[in-house]
Structure 1
Amino acid sequence: MSAAVTISIDAMGGDAAPDMVVEGVRMAHERLPHVRYLMFGDSARLEPLLARFPEIKGVCTIHHTDEAVSMEAKPSQVLRTGRKSSMWLAVDAVQKGEAAGIVSAGNTGALMAVSKFVLRTLPGIDRPAIAGMFPTIRGETLMLDLGANVDCNSNNLVEFAVMGEVYARHVLGLEKPSIGLLNVGAEDMKGNDAVKAAAATLREYHLPIDFRGFVEGNDICGGAVDVVVTDGFTGNIALKTAEGTVKLYSTFLKEAFKSSLLAKIGYLLAGHAINKVKVRTDPRRYNGAMFLGLNGIAVKSHGGTDAFGFANAVGVAVELVTHGFNDRIRKEFDRLKPTEASLSQLAAGSR
């Protein structure tokens, strides 16, 4: 039997909260019966929702607060005035040791700011990164950063590579995951100074990483490597472009199959195959972006997701806790301490 795990939930975060959040917890409970939940939010709204699902009342504890972080709130504003919000209290429960991880579908910038302020970063890590999974021809690829750090130096990129490699090895179960740096070309002379310096570090300092060099945008979904490393500016654009492309092709397919009687018959004949593609590319299956590098587990669910997607985000948090991800990150960075001076020099030169 799995050991008990407690996850704190920002019950008021997300476009359809708290209804979607409670339903998502119910779905997660079906797969993860050993998990308990601390739900932070308006008890007047949460209690009737939990009453509809008696199967989870025994694993959920409501912590009342009237305050919630809006999707439009600025991170700086939340840091000044949001200490009684459901988001802040849910993160604080991790810092106090009351929960092993936190899941929120709320404001991404605010969640990162609060998480970094309350939990701090792990020793040896300058900045946390947002990591997420992409479906590929070969299976799945982990990509980071997806938006936490718009500007990165070479040291940040090397840290992202180490964190991504540890996640792929211990959580995804890959024996020797391959790492690539996202660039405008595969040639060594291409790219900005930070990307070039990070590549030099990963090649020259004999880090225990299977570094494959530079990869391009079309290599992400091609599955060229197991982990794609980039800055948050480029990563977020790549993520939103991929999401938009999926919606575009879905729209085109729907229009094409409605265009004629023959097309509708074709849809009926190809329905099973189309559904397989739909399931494989369903963004809800990959919901749950991880804030890697924090001194605590924090997972961001897409704000517009449904209960199924939120349940998957909860599953991501439980996986990180179960695999002792942060302890493994600490050990990896302890092993890299002899190279820290060299890494810092390279980072300084790339600023």
Structure 2
Amino acid sequence: MRIALDAMGGDYAPEPNITGAIVALQADPALNVVLVGPRDLLEAQVEASGYNGDRLSIVHASQVVGMEEKPTDAMRQKPDSSISVCWKLMAAREVDAVVSAGNTGAVVASGLKTRLFLKSVKRPGIAVTLPTSAGHAVLMDVGANPSARPSHLYQYAVMGEIYAREVLRVESPKIGLINIGSEDVKGNDLYRDTYRLLNEGLLKDSFVGNVEGRGLYQGEADVLICEGFVGNVVLKVSEGMADFLMKEASRQIIGSLDAERDKAKLAFQEMGKRFHYHETGGAPLLGIDGICIICHGSSDAHSIANALKGSAMFKNRGINSQIAEHLAQKPVA
């Protein structure tokens, strides 16, 4: 498998990206990574790392999109950015996947510009994995499509259900629609119309109805569907709350312990991994005819390596072919 890695994406690039790529290559002999970015800089970094294998190559990109840049401006002004070049490589079928910890908006916008969609997919969406009292759940979309239509949310449910089954290994995923109340008449037209689609379509036996915000982490559903604006707010609030609670609990509880201090620290660290993006690597942009994994901007080498390995798993489990097959069974207008 050949993966294009945006070597310049992220708050600390390119060092953690190159280190993560080397870790992933050492773990998977079938993996090939293409580092995309300024050739001279990347060649010097690879040489300094001591890696001399033949499965790590470099494709030159003369421009870099900053984390705070406006995506539409960046795409117009920087056609040779590392993000754009990654997508061009996948559109030309020179790589199977794109991994980036760069500007999320630019990654999504570049992908949408290629129109590299799976057959029948109307609009790709970003799926993230959340910890719940029952294990884990897929939340989709978290920012790729803030102006969704009912048909988009229906397709997100199909894609999310397949992802939950194949990646999270949930045998029969339950699908819930994030809403302000559990009754089917709750919400605006988008959510009421989506409710009807889910309640009548191929997923009707898996659909459990509306899920309120307080039910997200209670295991009420394995797949949680919403449009990108709501999903992004949910994700950012969840990240902030998890960070606050872990730090506050650690400070108060561990501070009161003596003999068991080290054990308590380890326990909090293990619990924290359930909330930490480093352990999952990144979030897939589902609906793309290819594979795109979007990593957090502050990703370290561990996170990048996991994203690269996750891309290989995505391909090996045939997620895209299943999405295309299921959507072809009953297209929605």
Give the shorter-chain TM-score range.
over 0.9
TM-superposed CA distance for 1:123, in Å, is 2.4
Which amino acid in 2 is paired with 1:273? Answer: A
Moved more, 164-173 or 106-115: 164-173
2:270 to 266, 269, 276: 276
**1:162–1:206: structure 2 CA closer, same or farther, 3 Å change rule?**
closer
Match of 1:175 in 2: 171
Give secondary structure in 2 for the equivalent of 1:25: helix
Q: Does 1:117 align with 2:113?
A: yes
Decide whether the 8 Å contact of 1:182 with 1:216 is kept in 2.
yes
Decide whether the 8 Å contact of 2:99 with 2:293 is kept in 1.
yes
**1:154-198, CA deviations, whole angstroms, 9 ceiling, x for partnerless residues?**
111111111111222233333321110011111222111111111
Match of 1:240 in 2: 236
Match of 1:27 in 2: 23
Q: Over the residues paired in the alignment, what is the CA RMSD in angstroms?
A: 1.9
Give secondary structure in 1 for the equivalent of 2:264: helix
Decide whether the 8 Å contact of 2:254 with 2:265 is kept in 1.
no
TM-superposed CA distance for 1:221, in Å, is 1.6
TM-superposed CA distance for 1:324, in Å, is 2.3
TM-superposed CA distance for 1:52, in Å, is 3.9
Distance in 1 (CA, whole Å) between partners of 2:37 and 2:120 is 34
Distance in 1 (CA, whole Å) between partners of 2:220 and 2:62 is 48
Decide whether the 8 Å contact of 1:154 with 1:198 is kept in 2.
yes
Q: Does 1:85 align with 2:63?
A: no
Which amino acid in 1 is paired with 2:242? Answer: V
2:249 to 249, 253, 268: 253
1:312 to 293, 303, 306: 306
TM-superposed CA distance for 1:40, in Å, is 0.8
Moved more, 140-149 or 244-253: 244-253
Aligned length: 333
Decide whether the 8 Å contact of 1:256 with 1:263 is kept in 2.
no
TM-superposed CA distance for 1:209, in Å, is 5.2
Match of 1:205 in 2: 201
TM-superposed CA distance for 1:314, in Å, is 1.6
Which amino acid in 2 is paired with 1:326? Answer: N
**1:293-316, CA deviations, whole angstroms, 9 ceiling, x for partnerless residues?**
122211111011111112222222
Moved more, 222-231 or 272-281: 272-281
Which amino acid in 2 is paired with 1:80? Answer: R
Structure 1 alignment gaps of length 5 or more: 345-351
The percent of aligned pairs where both chains have the same amino acid is 33
**1:70–1:202: structure 2 CA closer, same or farther, 3 Å change rule?**
same
TM-score, normalised to structure 1, is 0.89
Moved more, 91-100 or 189-198: 189-198
Distance in 2 (CA, whole Å) between partners of 1:35 and 1:209 is 39
Distance in 1 (CA, whole Å) between partners of 2:190 and 2:238 is 25
**1:318–1:270: structure 2 CA closer, same or farther, 3 Å change rule?**
same
TM-superposed CA distance for 1:257, in Å, is 4.9
Give secondary structure in 2 for the equivalent of 1:196: helix
Q: 5 Å matches for 1:1-351?
A: 5-55=1-51, 57-207=53-203, 210-257=206-253, 259=255, 262-337=256-331, 340=332, 344=333
TM-score, normalised to structure 2, is 0.93
User: Which one has a larger percent helix, Structure 1 or Structure 2?
Assistant: 1
